[in-house]
Structure 1
Amino acid sequence: MGQKAQSPRKRASFALIPAFVLAVTALAGGLSAAEAAKRGPVTNLPLPRFVSLKSSEGNARRGPSLSHRIDWVYTRRALPLEVVAEFGHWRRVRDHDGAGGWLHYSLLSGVRTVMVESEMASLRSRPDTASEVVARAERGVVARLGECNPDWCRVAADGQRGWVEKSALWGVGREEIRE
């Protein structure tokens, strides 16, 4: 159960091995070293990346294990979160307020959701400010993310679907394009 503490020197050398292996593997696969550094050492998925909370409750811990203190309890299923680091079965996440911690990977889903950040967002029939408003969403509404172009994303929430300006949303990269 108890583990013997490693010297800082050993810990640092072990931390360099996955980064080195990832960089060598990526370079062999045609990626630049900068692109390789943006990949998670466990999943090889991009970092940072957006995911959502799979369950209706998730404990965000101070560190990547059950023995670490719980800092936050997320209680909103489908809440969009940003994965910023990986360690074993744990993912360091942050929410729209910048708060976060380490969550077990089983609590996260690859289903993409976004949160409305503006006071009121108009869902439009087309990705154009001149198109018809089909619904409105208040700040804090969580919606399922569909396709995105450079300025607009198609979302669905509470039976309503429409296009929202990307600048009104949290949970999608500003340069991200989705088909």
Structure 2
Amino acid sequence: MHSRIQIRQAVKTALQGTPGLVNIYTGRVQPSRAARMPFARIETGTEVSEKHTDQWTEIRTVQVFVHVYAQADEQLDDVLDAVAEQVEQRLAVDQTLGGVCESFIYKGAESDEESAARVEDGLLSLQFECVYVWQPSLVLDSFTVASVQIDMASPRNDPPIPTEPDGQIDASVRINLPS
């Protein structure tokens, strides 16, 4: 399972039972039925990477968004801020998301007034930065024996003639590798 999936699932798990949230979704689904509000939608955004070690590991930093939706009325901002406070508190408690990442830090919030003007709900997007270590989980074949044969230009002549390999195997080795 990719690390971004694990991160979204860990955020969802951390937010389960949050007062004020009826439902929590991962991914890009956006239900808008009033019965499902207020709800949160968790999604990952831009990711950057840098080399960590010589063993193919990378330090990756991914943006994680928790979009909080609520029905639009006079108390919209109060409802969104109250839910946002609960989300921030729950995600601040374990900044490794149960060991899924190295750090998980709140970076800010942004309200979406454009879509709120077109629909009957409001949106507040909370942005977090998640840093994790990634390494490939390669499945290698069962390479257990290496054979090497060396065909040199004729070293027996001075000067060496011919200057190309002469077709005679001058050295060979068989290496049994541990399995």
Q: Same fold judged by TM-score > 0.5?
A: no
Tell me which of the two structures has the higher relative contact order, counting C-alpha pairs closer than 8 angstroms and 6 or more residues apart.
2
Larger CA Rg, structure 1 vs 2: 2
Q: When you count helix as a share of all residues, which structure comes out higher?
A: 2
Bin the TM-score by the shorter chain: under 0.3
Name the TM-score, length of structure 2 as normaliser.
Answer: 0.20
